[in-house]
Chains A and B, each alone.
Chain A
Amino acid sequence: MEHLNTEILARLVDQTPQPEEAAHIAECEACSAELEAIRSQTDALRSLPEIRPPQGDWHGLEARLRSEGLMNDPGRFRRIGLAQTPGWMRAAAAAVLFLSGAGAGALLTSPEAPESLGDLAMPSSAATFATSTSVEAAATAVRVAEQNYVAAITRYQQLLISESGVEAGSDPMSRMAALEYLATVSQAAVRQAPGDPYLNGFLVSVLGEREATAQLVASRSNWY
């Protein structure tokens, strides 16, 4: 009998041979060895490992998931663990940074930070903005601004608590006054840069918080 061809041997890896095929394999060393080789090849295929995707694969997928609305951004405050920070306080911290450029942010975060809110004087000069010369420099500036912003919130909260002895924001009338001030400032800022998404978001946040506080004040008329 002639040797069995490779395709027949490939079938015999997991199928029962015909009697004549079995008889041939029992007698033919070459066919027996070839069958064993194909069996080993099949076993090796079954043991192939997983393959790590190339670098950058996740970023491409992430961008597409976001663009298709399949993935939510957890939000800056959730990411940094400040989700419970009242909106008006975030607005206050942002206003401090906005009004003073790096100056007040540095004040709030530096070792020589003011001991009380009264010591925190708002600079009267217009905000100073660094002009970025490249995308990289702009990205760095944004990161630094965000870090200052977060530090400012924390420090601002500490100052409020140390002055009032209770959790910040417990006096709705003071909040209302602060929010009125912030609303005026942020409306002016939006007029300066109407297309700026950050400023617009900030203004919306302040107006929303002002509305909520106004309702709270109205619902507690016995305070008057």
Chain B
Amino acid sequence: MQEISTGPSESQLIRLAADGDARAIRQLYDRYSPRVYAVVRRIAGDDDLAQDYAQEAWIRAIRALPTFRGDARFSTWLHRIAVNAALQALRKSETRKKQEGPVPEQVLVAPRGGDALLQQRLERALDELPYGMRRVLILHDVEGYTHEEIGDTLGVTSGTSKSQLFKARAKMRDMLTALDGAAQESGAEAWSI
């Protein structure tokens, strides 16, 4: 029977990383960077900003690691830090970079189902959503936040969160329908939800 070598546990990695251990930090990064990058990328709506926000999120997380007590799962804790870092950074920037030209090809990993074309169109439509709607839609429909959690995170009432969400879903529906129509006109593979 082949012996299975096991590396350090997550709690060990976290302790080592809190002490500044380079290998432990790298392992945490390798494990969680796709998730961190995904959420900040969608909130940012832009690749360049996303890289800055992801880096800021990691810096904050590593700095705060000594205070991580394990009350929540590490992934959840890190995810909250990433969301807050991205939202704060976006608030600070007076004007968001408008995306020009085609959406850069992203390397999607670990698909949870669905086809790549659908996911690509969803990402594109998300990028085009107005910022206020987008952040609520991402937090609720992509990340699974409740309206109360969104209210706490964004400093709005849960009623505002709901209102923004319904507007965002409707806008997404319109944009996806338009994208589908354009694809059919150009002879590309039709897609509809």
Residues of A bordering B, CB below 8 Å: 5-11, 13, 34, 37-38, 40-42, 44-54, 57-58, 60-62, 64-65, 68-74
Q: Which of A37, A48, A74 is B119 in contact with, Cβ under 8 Å?
A: A48
Q: Does B108 contact A (CB under 8 A)?
A: yes
Decide if the interface of chain B is mainly helix, strand, loop or mixed.
Answer: helix
Q: A65-B25, A70-B63, A74-B23 are in contact. Are A42 and B109 (CB under 8 A)?
A: no
Residues of B within 8 A of A38 (CB): 169-170, 173, 193
Q: Does B4 contact A (CB under 8 A)?
A: no
**How far, in Å, is A51 (CB) from chain B's closest CB?**
4
Q: Are B33 and A46 in contact (CB under 8 A)?
A: no
Q: Are B170 and A6 in contact (CB under 8 A)?
A: yes
Q: Does B62 contact A (CB under 8 A)?
A: yes
Closest chain A residue, CB of each to CB of B58:
A61
Q: A58-B29, A61-B29 are in contact. Are A50 and B119 (CB under 8 A)?
A: no
Q: Are B122 and A7 in contact (CB under 8 A)?
A: no
Q: Does B167 contact A (CB under 8 A)?
A: yes
Q: Which of A10, A46, A49, A73 is B22 in contact with, Cβ under 8 Å?
A: A73
Q: Are B112 and A49 in contact (CB under 8 A)?
A: yes
Q: Are A68 and B59 in contact (CB under 8 A)?
A: yes
Nearest first, the 9 A-B pairs at minimum CB distance are A10-B169, A50-B34, A6-B170, A52-B107, A51-B38, A72-B20, A53-B37, A10-B166, A45-B141
Q: Are A41 and B21 in contact (CB under 8 A)?
A: no
A190 to B86, CA, bound (A): 49
Q: Are B173 and A45 in contact (CB under 8 A)?
A: no
Residues of A within 8 A of B165 (CB): 10
**How far, in Å, is B54 (CB) from chain A's closest CB?**
6
Q: Are A46 and B141 in contact (CB under 8 A)?
A: yes
Residues of B within 8 A of A8 (CB): 166
Q: Are B51 and A45 in contact (CB under 8 A)?
A: no
**How far, in Å, is B136 (CB) from chain A's closest CB?**
12
Closest chain A residue, CB of each to CB of B125:
A41
Decide if the interface of chain A is mainly helix, strand, loop or mixed.
Answer: helix
Q: Are A50 and B173 in contact (CB under 8 A)?
A: no
Q: Does B26 contact A (CB under 8 A)?
A: yes
Q: Which of A41, A53, A64, A71 is B33 in contact with, Cβ under 8 Å?
A: A53
Q: Which of A11, A50, A64 has the most CB of B within 10 A?
A: A50
Q: Are A44 and B122 in contact (CB under 8 A)?
A: yes
A77 to B92, CA, bound (A): 44
Closest chain B residue, CB of each to CB of A8:
B166
Q: Are B142 and A46 in contact (CB under 8 A)?
A: yes
Q: Are B59 and A53 in contact (CB under 8 A)?
A: no
Closest chain A residue, CB of each to CB of B34:
A50
A5 to B170, CA, bound (A): 9
Q: Which of B37, B112, B118, B166 is A52 in contact with, Cβ under 8 Å?
A: B37
Residues of A within 8 A of B112 (CB): 47-49
Residues of B within 8 A of A7 (CB): 166-167, 169-170
Residues of B within 8 A of A42 (CB): 141, 169
Q: Are B37 and A13 in contact (CB under 8 A)?
A: no
Q: Are B169 and A57 in contact (CB under 8 A)?
A: no
A selection of 12 A-B contacts at a CB cut-off of 8 Å is: A7-B169, A37-B173, A41-B176, A49-B108, A49-B109, A49-B110, A50-B34, A50-B37, A58-B33, A64-B59, A65-B59, A71-B21
Residues of A within 8 A of B29 (CB): 58, 61
A220 to B101, CA, bound (A): 78
- B144-168, CB < 8 A from A: 144, 162, 165-168
Q: Which of B62, B111, B174 is A49 in contact with, Cβ under 8 Å?
A: B111
Q: Does B114 contact A (CB under 8 A)?
A: yes
